[in-house]
Amino acid sequence: MNVKADRSSGQLYAELNRDFHLKTVSLQFGTEALELIKVADLDELMEKVTDADQIPFWAELWPASLGLARYILNNGQLLRGKKVLELGAGIGLAGIAARIAGANLLQTDYSEAALKFIRVNSLRNGLTEPQLLLADWRRFPNAGLFDLILGADILYEKTLHPHLVQIITNSLKPNGVVWLADPGRDYALEFVLFLLEKGWSVRQIRVPIVYEAKTHQIDIYQIHRGN
The mean predicted confidence, pLDDT, of the chain is: 93
User: pLDDT-based confidence at 52, cuts 50/70/90?
Assistant: confident
User: pLDDT-based confidence at 50, cuts 50/70/90?
Assistant: confident
Predicted pLDDT of residue 1: 52
Q: Max Cα separation, the chain?
A: 52
pLDDT higher than 70, residue 4: no
In angstroms, the CA 208 to CA 139 distance is: 34
Q: Strands (DSSP E) along 88-125, which ranges? A: 104-109
**65-84 per-position pLDDT tens digit:** 999 999 999 999 999 999 99
Kindly tell me the burial class for residue 102, based on how many C-beta atoms sit within 10 Å of its own C-beta (0-12, 13-18, 19 or more): middle
Q: CATH top-level class for 3-47+59-224?
A: alpha beta
Predicted pLDDT of residue 32: 95
In angstroms, the CA 104 to CA 150 distance is: 12
In angstroms, the CA 201 to CA 186 distance is: 19
Contact predicate 60/37, CB 8 Å: no
Per-residue pLDDT, averaged over 95-119, amounts to 97
Q: Domains of the chain: which residue ranges? A: 3-47+59-224
